[in-house]
Structure 1
Amino acid sequence: MNGARAVLNTLVHGGIDVCFTNPGTSEMHLIAGMVSTPEIRGILCLFEGVATGAADGYGRMAGKPASTLLHMGPGLGNGLANLHNARRAGTPLINMVGDHATYHKPFDAPLDSDIESMAGTVSAWVRRTGSSADAGQDAADAVRAARTPVGHLPGGVATLVLPSDVCWSEGGVAVPVPAAQAPSFDEVAVERIAKTLRENEGCLLLIGGGNMRRAGLAAASRIAAATGVDVLAEKSPARHERGAGLPRFDRLPYPRDLAVRRLAGARHLILAGTREPVSFFAYPGKPSTLIPSGCEVHDLGAASGALEYLADLVAPGTAPLVTDEHRPALPSGELTAEKAAAVIGALLPEGAVVVDEAMTSDQWLPSATAGAPLHDWLNITGGSIGMGMPVATGAAVACPDRPVLNLEADGSAMYTLQSLWTQSREGLDVTTVVFNNASYAILDSELRRVGAFEGEDVRRSRSLIDIPGLDFVALAKGMDVPATRARTTEEFTRQLRAAAAEPGPHLIDAVVPPVTGGS
């Protein structure tokens, strides 16, 4: 068995059955091995950022790693942005990167680069395989590393660098991968936090990570009902189960000053599956931390069950408060982002997976969809835009029986538009709504916050953030995805219904005015 087959067969032993690829010459033996390994579904992507983002979306919804296959250092470089988002999401991911043959590496050929240094910026684990005999064990170690919790995160990116001669040489052996073990939590530490809750006022519970699923949400609601603790969710949870029948909590606001006001008064901050809150960016004269002065921080950790154990300690017999089913009325007239949110809330199907990269247009979406039937909501975790379309692609691969709705800003859509081609090729049930306001509108608010522009410079700065002239209908149709344009609420309602009723991918170009001063 050559090294490539040893790697792929080991991945199969580890439960890895999907690989999102953008290969080159150095990866051809891995591609040949994938063709003859029916247990692994190879999915071609036209850009590395699509491959890495799709693996992120798959991992979030499948609860197990997908793999990627990238072409050497430049290919890895093209995929780094969405590997960054995957790292911040704690998504388990096997990131395979091909490289020059070991004997060719010293010649510094044109595509040669320091792959390990690049990979280290987004990976919890990096290894270069030195021989075909090591390939199977290295792959097994990569799977194990991807499934190992990293801090408050449930997993991480494991990058395996595979020289081409390692892949074509014989002597490889597939290696069994042991099942992952759920991490435990410190019961004594949880009991101390329970004591803090019972004896102190001014407690705030900040939840995130796996606690944004049903069990964690119910536990947080029970704790709030029994103790009166204020509960807040992290700004951008990787996967959030929402809808009628589940508790609802507000998320930490994105704008720094709003977040500071929301946390003001907290004397005890309890973290459950998330990190200490910090400002997304630095602003002149303002501290980076969002934690009030004098507030004591207590960390429950990310282990499954810690928050439920806390609820059992402080809220025995207490039932969670859940959201009733309700939907907005369908609006009419000229389409705006607010009206589009109401339409989405009115029509969102049960079991939908919503991937949200709507940016400034998303401020009305949480309230409009809170009472919709049960659904999952995937957010941009690392702030690196261009994740929406790829993550939706991967989520659709992971959940072929569920409709996927990608809510996308026009600026970020242009980063990874090639996702539409993969959605068409694979027949994925993804409806993409592009909120087309012809601007990087989120930067409008940042122009004011940083204080770098004054007077006429504010108006002139618009030339740096306006992006008129994008025809998303033509762009989508060029990749064989049916597309329509909506300028009125009635058109948007009709088109969203039609897309939901037809299998396969669709795109709606929702033309809306900019949200001035949005966040």
Structure 2
Amino acid sequence: MNGADILCETLLANGIDTCFANPGTSEMHFVAALDRQPRMRCVLGLFEGVVTGAADGYARMADKPAATLLHLGPGLANGLANLHNARRARTPMVNVVGDHATGHLIHDAPLTSDIDSLARPMSHWVGRAETAETVGARCEQAIVAARAGAGGISTLILHADAAWTETPFVKPVPVARPELAGPDAALTGQAAAALRSGRATTILVSGLALREAQLDLLDRIAQKTGARLLAQQANGRMQRGAGRVALDRVPYVIDQALACFSATEHLILIGAKAPVGFFAYPGKPGSMLPETCDVIELASPDHDLTAAIAALADAVGAAPKARLAARHRPDLPTGKLTPDAIAIALAGAMPDDAIICDESITSGRDFFRSTYGAAPHDFLQLTGGAIGCGIPLATGAAVACPDRKVIGLQADGSGMYTVQGLWTQARERLDVLTILFANRRYQILHGELLNVGAGPAGENARRMLDLEDPTLDWVQLARSMGVEAARADTAEGFRDLLHSALARKGPFLIEAVI
């Protein structure tokens, strides 16, 4: 075997059997090794941001890492934005980035770059495999780092000669998953005292605390103690809908977030960070908390959140039953198509166990309000604010869960960043419905122009913030990549298209003109 074969064997021995790829010359021996491995599913993305975003969506739903294959430093750089989002979501991932053969580096060929420096800001672990003999060990280190704590991004730089050089084969064995830190008795005591104090207390959660069983117990704790339970503003995965706890997120809009926490005296963090503004605004604070608020980090994302929640319940007690959302199908709207009309239609039509991938930006900001009682579903969202994750996220989630309907809520401006992901959905025959919110502008930036005090958009600003002249035709864009598509501009027309799309398998796009 050569080093590339060893890399494949090590990945497969550790359950990493899906590789999202956009390879080049330096990676051809790894491509050939993958070709010899029928157990490995290889998924091509036509842009590296699709590759990294799809690996993110896959891992969020599969609860295990995917591998990516990227071409040298520029290929990695093309995928960095969605690696940033994955890092914020604490998604486990193993990136394999090719580099020149070690002896070729001295020539400073055109694609030579400092891959380590490119990778480090978006990675929890960066390492190099410079010889075939070290490939297996370095891959194991990458896997351990990806699985550590809540999960992390590992970037393994594979030199071309390390891939092509033959080396003795030693069958790899699965590496042990690092143990999570257990509950801290002192912090549990502090949190319990805050909950018993009678003062306004909020429990803010994220990560695995947003799964159904954990939310059930958290709601029972909140009932018992009179605390408020909230989700962090941006989360990797949340289980919600009928039969589950109806949970709100911290608002994105800074004035709403400040009002949300204005009376909070104690904040207990479980897998979450203290709330801050997404950006700085003149005359407004960066922290959303009152200066006198006492913050207790009961458990960081790298702790065993399930055990921490159980320890807190033992300390303060819990109500007998959680408050669960009842199934609710709101009256369907008619007339003009609006974001609210889309959310209401989804609340009534969404199938059980759907996966919602949300990059609707401003258009979907009120999605939760209409869908607490929708069919039970998983909700994945943009976590790091780097737009262009939505279509790839849905692609990866569909690869991970082929028997579940994936519904992408996609803004038109951010959708253009990684529109190539539609081609991958068509090629892989993925069961993804993309609802494209076509407002023909970067609506969020029109709002932010006002929020920072810069005033309304004039001619030059509008030309930087609007998506007209020419107008994007998403129906033609989707069809050109093999995805069936249709347009709706009324609530009735959208409802009809939605029911038709949900009744069929395979990729479909609805351009919802709002």
Asked if TM exceeds 0.5, the reply is yes
Please name the residue that 1:183 is paired with.
Answer: 180
Residues 4-37 of structure 1 deviation map (CA, whole Å, 9 limit, x = unaligned): 0001100001110100000000000111100111
Report the CA distance between 1:304 and its aligned residue.
2.8
**Partner Cα distance (2:87, 2:220) in 1:** 31
Equivalent of 1:362 in 361, 364, 382: 364
**Partner Cα distance (1:213, 1:172) in 2:** 44
Is the 1:345–1:365 contact (alpha carbons within 8 Å) kept by the matching residues of 2? no
Say what the alpha-carbon RMSD is for the aligned residues.
Answer: 1.3
Is the 2:5–2:30 contact (alpha carbons within 8 Å) kept by the matching residues of 1? yes
Q: How many residues align?
A: 506
Please name the residue that 2:102 is paired with.
Answer: 102
**Partner Cα distance (1:112, 1:426) in 2:** 33
Is the 1:51–1:68 contact (alpha carbons within 8 Å) kept by the matching residues of 2? yes
**Partner Cα distance (2:283, 2:369) in 1:** 33
The residue type paired with residue 94 of structure 1 is V
Range 435-444 or range 306-315, more displaced: 306-315
**Partner Cα distance (2:327, 2:181) in 1:** 35
Q: How does 1:191-340 map to 2 (within 5 A)?
A: 191-301=189-299, 302=301, 303-305=304-306, 306-316=308-318, 318-340=320-342
Percent of residue pairs identical: 48
Residues 322-362 of structure 1 deviation map (CA, whole Å, 9 limit, x = unaligned): 11111211211121111111111111110100000111110
Is the 1:407–1:435 contact (alpha carbons within 8 Å) kept by the matching residues of 2? yes
Please name the residue that 1:467 is paired with.
Answer: 467
The residue type paired with residue 110 of structure 2 is P
Is the 1:431–1:505 contact (alpha carbons within 8 Å) kept by the matching residues of 2? yes
**Partner Cα distance (2:108, 2:460) in 1:** 46
**Partner Cα distance (2:73, 2:475) in 1:** 34
The residue type paired with residue 216 of structure 2 is A
Report the CA distance between 1:463 and its aligned residue.
2.2
Matched, 1:74 2:70: no
Please name the residue that 1:515 is paired with.
Answer: none
Range 172-181 or range 197-206, more displaced: 172-181
Report the CA distance between 1:459 and its aligned residue.
6.2
TM-score (norm 2): 0.96
Report the CA distance between 1:476 and its aligned residue.
0.4
Residues 255-312 of structure 1 deviation map (CA, whole Å, 9 limit, x = unaligned): 1121111111211110011112111001123332222101111012132321132123
Residues 382-430 of structure 1 deviation map (CA, whole Å, 9 limit, x = unaligned): 0000000000000000000000000000001100000011000000000
**SS, match of residue 434 in structure 1:** strand
TM-score (norm 1): 0.95
**Partner Cα distance (1:182, 1:144) in 2:** 11
Is the 1:144–1:177 contact (alpha carbons within 8 Å) kept by the matching residues of 2? no
**Partner Cα distance (2:35, 2:356) in 1:** 32
Range 86-95 or range 37-46, more displaced: 37-46
Is the 2:221–2:319 contact (alpha carbons within 8 Å) kept by the matching residues of 1? no
**Partner Cα distance (2:178, 2:69) in 1:** 27
**Partner Cα distance (2:263, 2:179) in 1:** 36
Report the CA distance between 1:172 and its aligned residue.
5.5
**Partner Cα distance (2:455, 2:100) in 1:** 48
**Partner Cα distance (1:426, 1:190) in 2:** 47
Alpha-carbon distance change, 458 to 252 in structure 1, aligned in 2, over 3 angstroms: farther
Is the 2:208–2:214 contact (alpha carbons within 8 Å) kept by the matching residues of 1? yes
Range 310-319 or range 40-49, more displaced: 310-319
Please name the residue that 2:411 is paired with.
Answer: 409
**Partner Cα distance (1:347, 1:416) in 2:** 27
Is the 1:215–1:308 contact (alpha carbons within 8 Å) kept by the matching residues of 2? no
**Partner Cα distance (2:168, 2:285) in 1:** 54
**SS, match of residue 206 in structure 1:** strand
Please name the residue that 1:385 is paired with.
Answer: 387
**Partner Cα distance (1:311, 1:124) in 2:** 32
Matched, 1:435 2:437: yes
Matched, 1:171 2:138: no
**Partner Cα distance (2:279, 2:174) in 1:** 41
Structure 2: which 5+ residue stretches go unaligned? none
The residue type paired with residue 169 of structure 1 is T
**SS, match of residue 494 in structure 1:** helix
Please name the residue that 2:18 is paired with.
Answer: 18
Structure 1: which 5+ residue stretches go unaligned? 513-519
